[in-house]
Amino acid sequence: MKIKVSALATICLSALLLVGCGKTSNDSSSNNDNTTTTKKASVRTTGDATDDEYQGVIENGHYKTSKSRGVGVQQDSENMLNSKSFDVGMTDISKKFFSTKSYVFQEGQYLSKSTVQDWLGRKSKDNPDGLNPESNGNGSNRNPMYIQQIGEQDYMKDNDGKLSLAGMTIGIGMNRKDYYQKEEYGATYTQSISKEKMVEEGKIAAKKVLERVRKIDGVSNDTPIVIAMFEQAPNDSLVGGTFYAYAVSNSGTDLGDWKNLDLKNVTFPETSTNSVPNSNDEKNFENFKNKIQNFFPNLAGVTAQAQYDGKTLKSMNVSITTQFYSETEIISFTQYVAQAAQSYLPNKIPIDIQILGSDGKTQAFLSRDSGEGKFSSHVFTGF
Amino acid sequence: MKIKVSALATICLSALLLVGCGKTSNDSSSNNDNTTTTKKASVRTTGDATDDEYQGVIENGHYKTSKSRGVGVQQDSENMLNSKSFDVGMTDISKKFFSTKSYVFQEGQYLSKSTVQDWLGRKSKDNPDGLNPESNGNGSNRNPMYIQQIGEQDYMKDNDGKLSLAGMTIGIGMNRKDYYQKEEYGATYTQSISKEKMVEEGKIAAKKVLERVRKIDGVSNDTPIVIAMFEQAPNDSLVGGTFYAYAVSNSGTDLGDWKNLDLKNVTFPETSTNSVPNSNDEKNFENFKNKIQNFFPNLAGVTAQAQYDGKTLKSMNVSITTQFYSETEIISFTQYVAQAAQSYLPNKIPIDIQILGSDGKTQAFLSRDSGEGKFSSHVFTGF
């Protein structure tokens, strides 16, 4: 665990924690964050967790949440997995341009909730900024909703304890399926959108978004802005969508060339509607699954989510669910899973394994980073 | 991660895994455990997870589960936390006598389900082995049920690839509350049992159990048997019970001296009915909680379970529940919790921290072993 931002920021954080500690020892029920509100604001970050993650911004003891916080959550019909994939994928692309060592992550502060809501709506007299096409009713030639979500991430530089905007990533989530009801609470109809049409509409939206973001107060003409295009997974998918392209505007409204990505999220085991790009991986997973599922007299369920870049498996999250009859069974099972994973699951990629009880609660957890030889494991015991 | 049993056992396990792998590459849907059933059985263990845990026994590719598996689970009115505490505590006491390096753990194979059920029942004409007193009705002088659960753990030595019983721990769970209904599905009545009475009845039961276990086929007269006495937590407790005493019989039916334990499980924050032995720990926890709960505009819930030995905090499990609006919030929060835990929570004891979303699912996890300076953390992302 290394310190990644300037020593100054770290010292500030430590100071804050110590001040808070001294203060609240006398009054343990009060909120000690108030002790800093009268001070001149200075840069504080969330500290360091692992080496390749950004630090976040703390202001007056509170996390600086996104100005459009919760917009995605209101779209409750949407596949929630898309929301996770969107956030994680956007951060992954950002790391190509804004190193975790030099930049501090700030939740989007330039697009407000109402702005994002307006942009995600249909264009109309009342909503001239709507990025989705005007409504033409819900007939057979309905204009689909192409744009599903918009996210903003800010990348800050620390100049003598003051953060300034030094980069931005805007993610745009594009639909391949347009879901709609003809009447409220009625049946849901689905219209497919071709890959080509999605890409085309995405480019149009990206250009508009870039032009608008450049005009926002505080965004300078030469702040690098990454626009990242995300293909939403269908609502019934067991994995979230993936980013399919990105482009960088180094200044003005010039977007530069589009760089395509070939990411695919899959589930294991393979099914007729969910194919895995590399059949060897499927075989290895089946071997692992067979090894695991008959460990106890009662069967264990073994599934995985994984991400491919082309034909190459990049990382894997395994879930194992079984009924345990004692804590010692959990400990033994966890040891066994570590051995079997070592033997059967692909080498040199990061793998997470969660072991869940029949109540759905996490009982144990194993992980191996890409560079590590062995799995580390942890059993969640209780008192 | 060190190898703890003999190299032979490890090689056997590896061989098993490799054979299985080669076999099932051709037929990935079959269960490759069958490939070993015709072989002469040899010692296989669950492998190694961490340094201070026992390896378990695998037989023909299946875990050797307890002969009385599931007896505890049927007692559905019982506090399930007692069951976890019972298993973990029994293993902890066993480690004092049977080192994890020299012994292999085997789930109890000598007490069958029906035996345990009979012993846990009331003594009667039909059930002469019942350890609980004969029924005298459910009036004001009802004979309470003193004995709630019995568990067995076997500790094996590996002699040239063959395991033999080299030690045993029997746990006996004693009630401080006797719960009963006067009619089926009726109101539950409670009768308290004094600590003194519990200890007295426990000693009587321990003596009987030892005499009976010594007579079981396969248990020799000089196999060390540890008898560990557990005080059940009340059904409404937020923590499980603790072991209050143990004794060792090195041979025959002589039980040796009782060694008392002063363990206590508590929850943080302290309440009027749940006091914490050391008020400094409570202050530190409150400071940590205050630091954490206002990180987001929405409050986070922060609680902990902990175990004391006398006035000394031994270990702590923290649960933090909050609503997250993005994956980046989870990452930032996890980093912040690591810093705050480092500053506020007690040093030099093992601490687990689980971060849960509002849906109750584990989103991130931090832990620090007793010897470690910093918390390691892991965020559960998805695809």
For residues A253 and A211, the answer to whether their CB atoms sit within 8 Å is yes
| Residue in B293, B332, B367 nearest the CB of A56 | B332
* Together in a domain, A144 and A212: yes
* Together in a domain, A257 and A273: no
* Together in a domain, B192 and B94: yes
Tell me: the pLDDT tens digits for B158-212? 888 899 999 999 999 999 999 998 888 889 999 999 999 999 999 999 999 999 9
B332 vs A46: CB contact, 8 Å cut-off?
yes
A326 vs B48: CB contact, 8 Å cut-off?
no
Tokens found for residue B100: 């994890």
* Together in a domain, A225 and A333: no
Separation CA B258–CA B200 (nearest Å): 12
| Residue in B62, B317, B336 nearest the CB of A382 | B317
What's the half-sphere exposure (Cβ side, CA atoms, 13 Å) at A159? 5
Q: What is the CATH number of the domain that holds B350?
A: 3.30.300.190
**Residue B45 located in a structural domain:** no
Tell me: the pLDDT tens digits for B201-228? 999 999 999 999 999 999 999 999 999 9
CA distance B32 to chain A (A): 7
In angstroms, what CA-CA distances link A283 with A280, A299, A355?
5, 20, 21
pLDDT-derived band at B72, boundaries 50, 70, 90: low
CA distance A24 to chain B (A): 6
- Please give the helix or strand (H or E) that residue A120 lies within, else none: helix A113-120
A87 vs B240: CB contact, 8 Å cut-off?
no
Q: Which residues of B touch A293 (CB under 8 A)?
A: 31
A1 vs B354: CB contact, 8 Å cut-off?
no
For residues B46 and B10, the answer to whether their CB atoms sit within 8 Å is no
Separation CA A278–CA A280 (nearest Å): 6
* Together in a domain, B137 and B246: yes
Single out the residue in B261, B291, B310 at which a domain terminates.
B261
CA distance B128 to chain A (A): 28
Q: What is the ipTM of this complex?
A: 0.85
Domain count, chain A: 2
**Residue B21 located in a structural domain:** no
Q: Which residues of A touch B336 (CB under 8 A)?
A: 46-47, 56, 58, 63
- Under 8 Å CB pairs connecting chains A and B tally to 284
* Chain B interface test: which of A81, A296, A328 (most B C-beta within 10 Å): A328
**Residue A245 located in a structural domain:** yes
Tokens found for residue A358: 């029949």
State percent of chain B over pLDDT 90. 69
pLDDT given at position A352: 96
* Together in a domain, B287 and B222: no
* Together in a domain, A221 and A235: yes
Tell me: the pLDDT tens digits for B271-328? 888 889 999 999 999 999 999 998 999 899 999 999 999 999 999 999 999 999 999 9
* Together in a domain, B348 and B213: no
| Residue in B65, B326, B339 nearest the CB of A17 | B339
CA distance B243 to chain A (A): 11
Separation CA B158–CA B45 (nearest Å): 11
A66 vs B383: CB contact, 8 Å cut-off?
no
Tokens found for residue A16: 């804050």
pLDDT given at position A50: 56
Separation CA B72–CA A294 (nearest Å): 22
* Together in a domain, A320 and A362: yes
Closest of A155, A189, A186, A192 to residue A170, by C-alpha: A155
DSSP A34: G
B47 vs A338: CB contact, 8 Å cut-off?
yes
A295 vs B62: CB contact, 8 Å cut-off?
yes
Q: What is the reported pTM?
A: 0.85
Single out the residue in A261, A293, A316 at which a domain terminates.
A261
| Residue in A87, A338, A365 nearest the CB of B328 | A87
Tell me: the pLDDT tens digits for A26-61? 333 333 333 333 344 456 788 764 568 899 999 988
| Residue in B14, B91, B381 nearest the CB of A88 | B381
Q: What is the CATH number of the domain that holds A152?
A: 3.10.570.10
A317 vs B381: CB contact, 8 Å cut-off?
yes
**Residue B57 located in a structural domain:** no
* Together in a domain, A246 and A274: no
CA distance B218 to chain A (A): 22
In angstroms, what CA-CA distances link B217 with A56, A181, B66, B221?
63, 71, 17, 11
Closest of A179, A183, A174 to residue A228, by C-alpha: A174
| Residue in B83, B291, B382 nearest the CB of A317 | B382
* Together in a domain, A156 and A85: yes
What residue numbers bound the domain in which B374 lies? Answer: 266-379
- Give per-10-residue mean pLDDT for chain A (383 aa): 32 34 32 36 65 87 91 60 93 96 96 96 97 93 95 94 95 96 89 98 98 97 98 92 98 96 96 88 95 92 96 96 93 94 93 93 92 88 79
In angstroms, what CA-CA distances link B39 with A287, A293, A312, B60, B106?
20, 21, 38, 9, 21
* Together in a domain, A114 and A245: yes
**Residue B305 located in a structural domain:** yes
For all residues of chain B together, what is the average pLDDT?
Answer: 86
In angstroms, what CA-CA distances link B310 with A190, B174, B245, B278, B349?
64, 20, 14, 9, 15
**Residue B218 located in a structural domain:** yes
Single out the residue in A211, A243, A261 at which a domain terminates.
A261
CA distance A259 to chain B (A): 21
**Residue A56 located in a structural domain:** no
A63 vs B30: CB contact, 8 Å cut-off?
no
For CA atoms A81, A84, A85, A87, give the dihedral sign: positive
For residues A335 and A353, the answer to whether their CB atoms sit within 8 Å is no
| Residue in A63, A335, A367 nearest the CB of B47 | A335
B283 vs A25: CB contact, 8 Å cut-off?
yes
**Do β-strands A225-231 and A242-249 pair in parallel, antiparallel, or remain unpaired?**
antiparallel
B153 vs A328: CB contact, 8 Å cut-off?
yes
**Residue A36 located in a structural domain:** no
Q: Which residues of B touch A73 (CB under 8 A)?
A: 325
